[in-house]
Amino acid sequence: MQNNYAKIISGIYTDILSKENLGKVPDYIPEIAKISADKFGVAFLDLDKNSFVEGDYKEKFSIQSISKVFSLTLVYKHLGEKLWERVDVEPSGNAFNSLVQLEADNGIPRNPFINAGALVVCDILLDIFENPKQEILNFIRNITGEINISYNKKVAASEMENGFRNAAMCNFMKSFGNIKNNPNEVLDLYFNLCSIEMSCENLSKSFLFLANGGKNPINNEEILSSSKTKRINAIMLTCGFYDESGEFSFLVGLPGKSGVGGGIVAVLPNHYCITVWSPKLNLKGNSYRGMKFLEEFTTQTGESIF
């Protein structure tokens, strides 16, 4: 099937723009609450270097949980399959069970994309790297070629200040021995990663290696082995959208990752990467317009992994 991606993307963009923008910008992170609710950007990038963009695709926003893919990539690359002794790869069921599941599973988080799992990944980053914050930035700056990508210290600080639920989780896992470092250091790294700011364009560039069997599409250097790359895609599919992962797989049919900053990145292996950003979230915490856009996109292109 030969799709006219440019036309499909611009058609869906116009259509969604014309409809009511439902959902709600989360108010618990003041810096994010300030963002205009009507920002809307799209950036498509494929392995043949085709790029189709719309709207606010160049504006940086808080990537929040999307950063969990970068930290997982670095840790998985260094630790290999030993990583899975400390975090599982199973979807997690609904959120209200998170602490009781940790208890039942002896402090082993269900997967690296729920907060508990991402905290364990941060704990490992602290063991692997002297300066993990710099390491993550270097990785993202290299792969995007954009050296201005950085942390938003204000966002990180404001999340740290109100992050009592994550602090509870981190201490709880520490009581099981699955956090090695000081919980406050782990939390500091975690909230800093969440505060990274990138544009749709940056994100599509930085995820494209996941569509390329683990190789940097620019210079063909291996970032991750082909097998590890597939596995990260698999985890994104089953666990990338909180308690809406099944729904995203069902409606969109692509591996992806969302963040409460309103961004969603999705990957069609061997083909392309597409990022949508719109700050209003649906009840499950995923971008309302982002979900709509991607559902319509795979419907019109007829392309998904299934």
Give binding residues for substrate as ranges.
65, 115, 159, 166, 190, 242, 260
Residues 20-79 that bind a second copy (CB under 8 A): none
SS (H, E, C) 66-114: HHHHHHHHHHHHHHHHHHHHCCCCCCCCCHHHHHHHHHHCCCCCCCCCC
Residues 153-182 that bind a second copy (CB under 8 A): 164-165, 167-172, 174-175
Choice from 54, 88, 201, 296 touching a second copy (CB under 8 A): 88
Output 125 or 239, the one with its CB closest to a second copy.
239
DSSP state of 287: B
Three-state SS for 36? coil
Q: What region, left, alpha or beta, does residue 146 occupy, with left being phi > 0 and alpha being psi -120 to 50 degrees?
A: beta
Question: Given the DSSP bridges, would you call strands 197-198 and 263-268 parallel, antiparallel or unpaired?
Answer: unpaired
Point out which residues pair with 275 in neighbouring strands: 43, 265
Binding of a second copy at residue 1 (CB under 8 A)? no
State the Cα angle at 286 between 282 and 290, rounded to 5°: 95
Contact indicator for 219, 180 with CB cutoff of 8 Å: no
Task: Output the smallest distance, CB 201 to a second copy, in A.
Answer: 24
Binding of a second copy at residue 234 (CB under 8 A)? yes
Q: Token pair for residue 32?
A: 């994010």
241 contacts: CB under 8 Å, gap ≥ 6: 247, 248, 256, 257, 258, 284, 286
Output 31 or 247, the one with its CB closest to a second copy.
247
Output 87 or 140, the one with its CB closest to a second copy.
87
Choice from 91, 117, 217, 259 touching a second copy (CB under 8 A): 91
Output 132 or 183, the one with its CB closest to a second copy.
183
Task: Output the smallest distance, CB 45 to a second copy, in A.
Answer: 19
Size of site (CB under 8 A) for a second copy: 55
The region of 11-19, 41-49, 69-77, 240-248 touching a second copy under the rule CB under 8 A is 240-248
212 contacts: CB under 8 Å, gap ≥ 6: 47, 270
Question: CB burial class (10 A; 0-12, 13-18, 19+) of residue 259?
Answer: buried
Output 37 or 79, the one with its CB closest to a second copy.
79
Binding of a second copy at residue 96 (CB under 8 A)? yes
Output 125 or 210, the one with its CB closest to a second copy.
210
Binding of a second copy at residue 247 (CB under 8 A)? yes
Binding of a second copy at residue 287 (CB under 8 A)? no
Q: Where do contacts with a second copy occur on this chain (CB under 8 A)?
A: 88-94, 96-97, 99-101, 103-105, 110-111, 164-165, 167-172, 174-175, 183, 226-227, 229-231, 233-235, 237-239, 243-247, 249-251, 253, 255, 269, 299, 302, 304-306
